[in-house]
Amino acid sequence: MAARGNTPAAYQKYYTARNVQPLLADLELLSRSGDANASFVLSRIHDDCAVIPDWGPLAGLDIAQEKKVALQRSSAWFKARCEGVSEDVVSGFRNRKRYRELAVKQGSLAAQIEQAAPGLHLADQDLSVEDHKTFVEAVLMQDDGEAYMALAAIMGEAASHRIQEMKPYKVGSPVEEAAWMLAGCRKGVPCGADSPILQRMCRASVCGYNSLEELYSHGMLAPEQMQQARARMEEIIALSKGVSGDDGSIAGDVAAGRPVSRN
């Protein structure tokens, strides 16, 4: 799936770097000067490098050979990317938290959604329905693929307990989550075999695929669901292209899965 959208420079450097250590000094300088994208990327780097898969213990796993190959490749990818980034697990996660909180304060929508997402599962509903809806509307008005992917985590089955409350927005199914993830790919997040997102998913044991779309179509969704997810993704993208110039009334139509009329 071709990447589109106006990808911030900090994102682009992170996506394409063979090794992230040389990026740190410039990113930290930009972060201190108030660059929310730089702070968000720093949170990603520290998350990536806090836990690097060790292929040795994984080699004996009783899993399909193609998944073993993917795990080995992922382990090598993380080691190469994080070479020279010296931190243990505790400091890595501490730095991730610190930079994400800074990105939130500096206005990163993706960071705001990531920070708020755990509230979807709490009994006291820290993520209110009103805020949930506001996040949907805010993402559709931006061209930030990372924000689309962050939103995906609160649009799928994790939100199945508030399907009625979220109307007219459509939530609660794996189709919705996949659609927003694929929209993130279309908006500029690399989603191929060597992309950070696919490597992070491999680290979480979802391995052996050459793209995020292949992961969903072959590993997570039934064929009919995948067809629906692709259609929903196209609807989301169609809306996002024009929403900033429209009166906003079509936002509910697309997010709810209704056909969009531009007459």
| Residue range 241-256, pLDDT digits in tens | 766 544 444 444 444 4
Does 54 have pLDDT greater than 90? Answer: no
Residue 6 — very low, low, confident or very high, per pLDDT cuts 50/70/90?
A: confident
Tell me the C-alpha distance between 61 and 38, whole Å: 38
**Residue 85 near residue 20 (C-beta atoms within 8 A):** yes
Instruction: Please state the domain count of the chain.
Output: 2
More confident residue, 246 or 178: 178
Q: Are residues 102 and 117 in the same domain?
A: no
Q: Which of 46-60, 89-103, 189-203 has the lowest mean pLDDT?
A: 46-60
pTM: 0.87
**Residue 182 near residue 213 (C-beta atoms within 8 A):** yes
Tell me the DSSP string of 46-87: HHHHHS---HHHHTT--S-HHHHHHHHHHHHHHHHHHTT---
Tell me the C-alpha distance between 38 and 167, whole Å: 35
Q: Which pair of tokens denotes residue 210?
A: 């050459």
Q: Which of 96, 95, 85, 89 is nearest to 23 (CA)?
A: 85
Is 238 contained in some domain?
yes
Residue where a domain stops, chosen among 107, 132, 156: 107
**What pLDDT score does 124 carry?**
63
Residue where a domain stops, chosen among 70, 90, 107: 107
Q: Are residues 195 and 87 in the same domain?
A: no
Q: Are residues 156 and 86 in the same domain?
A: no
Domain that holds residue 85: 8-107
